[in-house]
Structure 1
Amino acid sequence: MQLPPGPKTPSWLIGLQFEANPFDYMDRISKRYGDMVTLMFGSTPIVYVSNPSGIKQIFTNTKEIVAKGDLNRGFALGTGEKGVLQLDGLIHKNRRKILMHTFHGARMQACGRRICELTEKIIGQQTVGKPFIAYPTIEDITLKVGIEIVMGIDKGERHEKIKHLFTSILRLNVQSPIDKILLTIFGERDLGRWSPQGYFLHLRQELFQLLSTEVEERRNQLDFSRTDMLADLIFAEDETGQPLSNEEVRDLLLSPIFAAGDASGTAIAWALYWIHRLPTVRSRLLSEIDSLGDNLDPMSIFALPYLNAVCNEVLRIYPTQLFAFPRLVESTVELMGYKLNPGTVLIANIYSTHQHEDLYPQPKEFLPERFLEKQFSPYEFLPFGGGSRVCIGATFALFEMKLILVTILSRYELELVKQNPERPKYGGLICYPASGVKMVKRGLRQRQGKSQLLAVDLI
């Protein structure tokens, strides 16, 4: 076997260097070693690939290279043993098909009004002139939307408890220095609720119990008129024609809600940062939004070309998901001139692919126009991963991102509290804005020539 080059640094030190500044670390190793970099974790070689041709082979060669659920076993504590990330083959294909039904067609359009209502309500609660942090504020919106779409619960005590538990678990991904010290001292041992692992397991148990109760109650009170993901799963059949178990249904709910709240909230927070940091981007975007006049319906918003370019550039420059889910070489394969043996793990490096200067000139600059001038292949621009593990809710995530941004921008005048560059902070799978994007609301925005109507009233 001939492995691509890579650093000989111990894996624990690589982890520290990566965590300190993930983008800088990946820039350095890509510059030194190229498009394929090998990192050794014990005796297992993990090859990170940022070449579009290599990524295409990883995503499309399903004979020698497989997307095994066992490779995602590390996420099972948060997403359940029977979550979609842990499934393989026909079972995985069956469950993905069921889940994807929720995020497409008329259902997606129907929730547009709700997204705008929640955005208007939550941003409207911010006090004029008083700074607020955009990331948790936006996450509140995206998590409410996710719970409503996935579980069909939009209010009440159970909704609030579920939202609180998801939020608390997500916060553990962005650990404070004290939390990291405690985790270093105690490791992953459960020493009660005062230890990091013990507190996580406590939250997990509460969340799983609430979800299990909801699944059981819905199973016992069948309602064929409901259109949420939970209803789809309850009425669905597996690959053998049998109903899914309550445990399967519960675990399948977890990843979509986490993605809806965390990844979507992060992407929108980054978008608010870039739009308000660059006056020319904000001005052009507002002009495009105003060109719709009073026709602020969801599909008109979704089709705006410059808005689409801005969202894509946000996902390019600081992708919320830095890497695609791993693949495993099952039989000897040649990839980009290297002969790789079974047992080698392959990971598409999304961030480094998006930094290719031949694809994206001036990659460190925020330039939405690049997406108006060129159409990129799914192996050149891949913010949601690719192949059989591509994000189920990718289209809906963009839909939600656009509606929330347009509702905020068309209604309010916001400013960044400081113009200092926002640094990324890595936690779990997501790269968050380190300060959360500190903003201040200056008041309602008036469209030139007429008073601005609430977006929610027009949808």
Structure 2
Amino acid sequence: MGKPIPKVKQHPLWQRLQWIGDPVGYMEEAVADHPDLFAAEIIGFGNNLVFVNHPQAIQQLLTSDRRQFAASGKENGLLKPLLGEYSITMLDGDRHKKRRKLLLPPFHRERMPAYGQLICDLTTKIFDQFTLDQAFTARKTTQEISLQVILESVYGLHSGERAQKLKGLLSKLSDVFSSPLTSAFLFFPWLQKDLGPWSPWGNLLRQQKAINSTIYQELAERRAHPDEKRQDILSLLMSARDEEEQPLSDIELRDELMTLMFAGHETTATAMAWALYWIHSLPEVKHKLLTELESLGADPEPMEIMKLPYLNAVCQETLRIYPVGMLTFPRVATEKVDLLGYDIQPGQILVGCIYLAHQREDIYPDAKQFRPERFLEKQFSPYEFITFGGGARRCIGEALAQFELRLAIATILSRYDLALAENNEEKPQRRGVTLAPANEVRMIFKGTNY
């Protein structure tokens, strides 16, 4: 007979409000009483969601797919209004397995060099527009870089009216849930009412309609004028076939494009902004990074940049200290399970808590300190450092995200002189289902290094 799962004691409504308004505070209060796992009532009154942050338990949770725990798409319903019901995120079982097999090839690590120079060039193009002593917010600038990378590498749109229209629409849509207040619309379905174009949800629906129309126009044009030479991810997905030789339908393609936009563009933009904040907050980190970059000489190849150990450590520490995604995708217990001596009942929903796993003092001493050296001193297991999730739901775009983060940061640091606009500590704040810098990292452009 195992122990019952410890529960957070606050009233469910208060838990839900705190989870929306101050997720970091909520998690840190809960873990102070229950160090390894706890049951939270944040997804609906009476429904307990078990947060797991012990590496052994996370490994059991993420690697026991279909035996003890099943990855259930229906538990991701919170994201359905954004991604659509045919997104890989919403699929279960064999449907999910087949879709994942179909989507993986375009994101294989071997394809990444094709995107390397594109990322460096786009970063340079955007930063070259700044003037001396111009103030800017890093989060908005990195969003522009990441969105342009998505448009060119994923959508295959480089220029033209449709590319500009889609860029504007996607940028606006990304900002819909930029604060805890607007994020509440995702957590309270009764708020999701179309009260006209000036209402928050009505505005969202109209933006989505315009995006859908633009995407379907692009799909129709490509089907009418196929070009086998195109190597963007959308073209590869359009030509992909499953075991029954069936292609993805237009609505399936649309939902996957929206998934890649939110999962790839939003998250990577935030990670880049956090990296710029930490690098410019800590002079010794910036000095070490610049010294390493200078060792490559002028105009190094992207693949040479990717091999730099301290750059990699800075990016890993950025993803550790304030992981953009706080939780793994949910798993549902398929049978009675012993997890660290606790009884898990069939039907119980569990998540790996990425944020709390990355804050464990027994794994990351002085966890609140930004110290890239920890990633040079130790190799962490996939259940201690779990930024991209794990198991059957591990992030498909991991290789592209890592590539973009490292190359963009290397390009910015080696070519431009920047400074933080103020010395205030940047705090994490909810942005939709992610953690982003509350003040978007305000900076000043001090000139070029070339």
- The question of a shared fold, defined as TM-score above 0.5 by the shorter chain, is answered with yes
Identical-pair percentage: 42
The alpha-carbon deviation at position 184 of structure 1 amounts to: 8.6
Aligned to 2:413: 409
SS at match of 2:78: helix
Work out whether residues 146 and 268 of structure 2, in 8 Å CA contact, stay in contact via their aligned partners in 1. Answer: yes
Measure the CA separation in 1 of the matches of 2:175 and 2:133: 27
The alpha-carbon deviation at position 180 of structure 1 amounts to: 6.6
Measure the CA separation in 1 of the matches of 2:182 and 2:143: 24
Superposed CA deviations along residues 309-349 of structure 1, whole A, max 9, x for unmatched, are 00000000000001111111122211111121111100000
The alpha-carbon deviation at position 133 of structure 1 amounts to: 0.5
Work out whether residues 20 and 180 of structure 2, in 8 Å CA contact, stay in contact via their aligned partners in 1. Answer: no
2:354 maps to 1:326: no
Aligned to 1:9: 10
2:300 maps to 1:299: no
Aligned to 2:276: 272
The alpha-carbon deviation at position 256 of structure 1 amounts to: 1.0
Work out whether residues 79 and 251 of structure 1, in 8 Å CA contact, stay in contact via their aligned partners in 2. Answer: yes
SS at match of 1:413: strand
Measure the CA separation in 1 of the matches of 2:343 and 2:7: 16
Aligned residue among 82, 86, 100 for 1:82: 86
Measure the CA separation in 2 of the matches of 1:161 and 1:414: 31
2:45 maps to 1:28: no
Measure the CA separation in 1 of the matches of 2:378 and 2:365: 12
The one-letter code matched in structure 1 to 2:392 is: S
Moved more, 96-105 or 331-340: 96-105
Aligned residue among 363, 369, 372 for 1:365: 369
Work out whether residues 13 and 45 of structure 2, in 8 Å CA contact, stay in contact via their aligned partners in 1. Answer: no
The alpha-carbon deviation at position 85 of structure 1 amounts to: 0.2
SS at match of 2:296: coil
Work out whether residues 98 and 232 of structure 1, in 8 Å CA contact, stay in contact via their aligned partners in 2. Answer: no
The one-letter code matched in structure 1 to 2:10 is: T
The alpha-carbon deviation at position 243 of structure 1 amounts to: 2.1
Superposed CA deviations along residues 98-144 of structure 1, whole A, max 9, x for unmatched, are 32222234531122111111111111111211211010111001011
Measure the CA separation in 1 of the matches of 2:155 and 2:102: 14
The alpha-carbon deviation at position 301 of structure 1 amounts to: 0.4
Work out whether residues 68 and 88 of structure 1, in 8 Å CA contact, stay in contact via their aligned partners in 2. Answer: yes
Aligned to 1:449: none
The one-letter code matched in structure 2 to 1:55 is: I
Aligned residue among 45, 53, 56 for 1:53: 56
The one-letter code matched in structure 2 to 1:30 is: V
The alpha-carbon deviation at position 212 of structure 1 amounts to: 1.7
Aligned residue among 17, 41, 46 for 1:43: 46
SS at match of 1:81: coil
Moved more, 369-378 or 20-29: 20-29
- 205 and 2 in structure 1: CA distance in 2 versus 1, 3 angstrom threshold: farther
The one-letter code matched in structure 2 to 1:308 is: N
TM-score, with structure 2 as normaliser: 0.95
Measure the CA separation in 2 of the matches of 1:241 and 1:318: 42
Aligned to 1:457: none
Work out whether residues 186 and 195 of structure 1, in 8 Å CA contact, stay in contact via their aligned partners in 2. Answer: no
Aligned to 2:341: 337
TM-score, with structure 1 as normaliser: 0.93
SS at match of 2:276: helix
- 10 and 160 in structure 1: CA distance in 2 versus 1, 3 angstrom threshold: farther
Aligned to 2:435: 431
The alpha-carbon deviation at position 236 of structure 1 amounts to: 1.4
Gaps (5+ residues) in structure 1?
Answer: 446-451, 453-459
Measure the CA separation in 1 of the matches of 2:132 and 2:107: 35
Moved more, 229-238 or 381-390: 229-238
Measure the CA separation in 2 of the matches of 1:407 and 1:291: 14
The alpha-carbon deviation at position 176 of structure 1 amounts to: 7.6
- 409 and 225 in structure 1: CA distance in 2 versus 1, 3 angstrom threshold: same
Aligned residue among 158, 165, 171 for 2:169: 165
2:77 maps to 1:73: yes
Moved more, 22-31 or 361-370: 22-31
Aligned to 1:262: 266
Aligned to 2:233: 229
Work out whether residues 215 and 250 of structure 1, in 8 Å CA contact, stay in contact via their aligned partners in 2. Answer: no
The alpha-carbon deviation at position 43 of structure 1 amounts to: 3.1
Dislocated runs of 4+, deviation >4 Å: 176-181, 183-186
SS at match of 1:368: coil
Work out whether residues 138 and 268 of structure 1, in 8 Å CA contact, stay in contact via their aligned partners in 2. Answer: yes
Aligned residue among 131, 143, 157 for 1:139: 143
2:330 maps to 1:350: no
- 312 and 178 in structure 1: CA distance in 2 versus 1, 3 angstrom threshold: closer
Equivalent pairs counted in the alignment come to 445
Aligned residue among 378, 391, 396 for 1:387: 391
Work out whether residues 179 and 432 of structure 2, in 8 Å CA contact, stay in contact via their aligned partners in 1. Answer: no
The one-letter code matched in structure 2 to 1:6 is: K
The one-letter code matched in structure 1 to 2:162 is: R
Measure the CA separation in 1 of the matches of 2:111 and 2:407: 15
Moved more, 70-79 or 261-270: 70-79
What is the aligned-residue RMSD (CA, Å)?
1.9
Measure the CA separation in 2 of the matches of 1:256 and 1:187: 26
Work out whether residues 83 and 248 of structure 1, in 8 Å CA contact, stay in contact via their aligned partners in 2. Answer: yes
The alpha-carbon deviation at position 10 of structure 1 amounts to: 2.7
SS at match of 1:111: helix
- 259 and 178 in structure 1: CA distance in 2 versus 1, 3 angstrom threshold: closer
Work out whether residues 46 and 346 of structure 1, in 8 Å CA contact, stay in contact via their aligned partners in 2. Answer: yes
Measure the CA separation in 2 of the matches of 1:91 and 1:177: 35
